[in-house]
Amino acid sequence: MQNHKPLILGVDIEKTFPIRSRFFFERKRYVHAVNGVSLNIFKGETVGLVGETGCGKTTLGRLILRLIEPTSGDLFFDPPEEIAHSILEGKKLNEEELKRYSFFRFSPNRVRKTRREMQIVFQDPYFSLDPRYLIRDIIAEPLMAFNTGRKEAYERAEDLLEIMGLGSNFMNKFPHELSGGQRQRVAIARALVSNPKFIVFDEPTSALDVSVQAQVLNLLYDLKERFELTALFISHNIVVVRHVADRIIVMYLGEFVETAEIREMFSSPLHPYTQALLSSVPIPDPKTKKKRMVLQGEVPSTINLPTGCKFHPRCPLSMEICRAKKPPMFEIKSGHYVACWLYSPKL
């Protein structure tokens, strides 16, 4: 059950990757993966992050866990109430407070201790599970890394395999002996074994068959209720996110363009990009006709980003101000924000 205490607070997170120059005199260039985004995820909430391939979804997920280092910005994991309140009100923290509470400024030792509370489930379980390890060792390894006894870790692994619907007979198998769906269940069990406060699901169903996808999604929905999970669910499929998330964030070229509760987003999408994503979702009824919104042009390069609104080269409703100035997030309804000049109260 979601409450109003934030577990994750990100402020102006940015990540650029330098491109190696071919010539000595060539100007240094960068890939702009994530461009100054701010987000909050409350305890007990599952937030869906959707967008086209290459928009920066996975990069943001890995930044939150600090699997890659940010270029700039700060992230606060389970901050004290007074710090969270200050951040939500837009107040700037001093250097001492940032050093003490920002996960991006923790020492390596503090990062390691905090990592027990944060886990990730990767897209392809075939590559994320060590082929030389037995399933019991794969699941128990995170516990043993934090000095839990072998016997206790194996008992916890066996319990989780039962919850995943696999059973104790999988304990002594190797990953190559399992199907894709079974391997992904093992990956989920490994993420849950340390009782984390926060999990990033990085497209956990995209490498699976459609029927297996449904089984894994149903499992995730049950686990969400059972363990009161707080999670970021990353996917390019907006329909998949609808099944498990409470709130959805739409991302385009490293920036957030719209965020709202699931029902609100699907009933009243506001940003032209969100409308295009939803119009591409097929309706399983041959008698129902649906007008599809087809975007023109190609996705701009993340090396040379457009000025102003990043979506304006493909937007059928773009105006002069869209080319010149980046839109802020306008709150249209309670909890429904959109970065589009069409909804500016001053226009």
> What are the pLDDT digits (tens) for 264-297?
999 999 999 999 988 877 666 666 666 677 788 7
Residue 2: pLDDT above 60? no
What's the pLDDT band for 327 if we cut at 50, 70, 90?
very high
Least confident of 54-63, 187-196, 288-297: 288-297
Distances (CA, A) of 14 to 35, 38, 77, 307, 315: 5, 9, 17, 17, 24
SS3 assignment for 221-279? HHHHHHHCCEEEEEECCHHHHHHHCCEEEEEECCEEEEEEEHHHHHHCCCCHHHHHHHH
pLDDT, residue 21, reads 76
pLDDT, residue 90, reads 87
Q: How high does pLDDT run on average in the chain?
A: 90
Coil vs helix vs strand at 35: strand
pLDDT, residue 347, reads 66
Percent of the chain whose pLDDT exceeds 70? 95
pLDDT, residue 7, reads 94
Backbone angles phi, psi at 192, to 5 degrees: -90, -15
Distances (CA, A) of 223 to 46, 114, 264: 12, 22, 24
Domains of the chain: 6-117+197-343 (3.40.50.300), 125-195 (no CATH)
Residue 3: pLDDT above 70? no
pLDDT, residue 35, reads 94
pLDDT, residue 209, reads 81
Residue 71: pLDDT above 60? yes
Q: Which two tokens stand for residue 76?
A: 């606060």
Residue 314: pLDDT above 80? yes
Q: pTM for the whole thing?
A: 0.91
- Tens of pLDDT, residues 8-35: 999 999 999 998 877 766 778 899 999 9
Other beta carbons within 10 angstroms of residue 4's beta carbon come to 9
Residue 1: pLDDT above 60? no
pLDDT, residue 238, reads 86
| Mean pLDDT of all residues in 304-327 | 92
CB 96 within 8 A of CB 73: no
- Tens of pLDDT, residues 146-183: 888 999 999 999 999 999 989 889 999 999 999 888 99
Give the sheet arrangement for strand 230-235, strand by strand.
118-121, 198-202, 230-235, 46-50, 247-252, 255-261, 336-338, 330-333
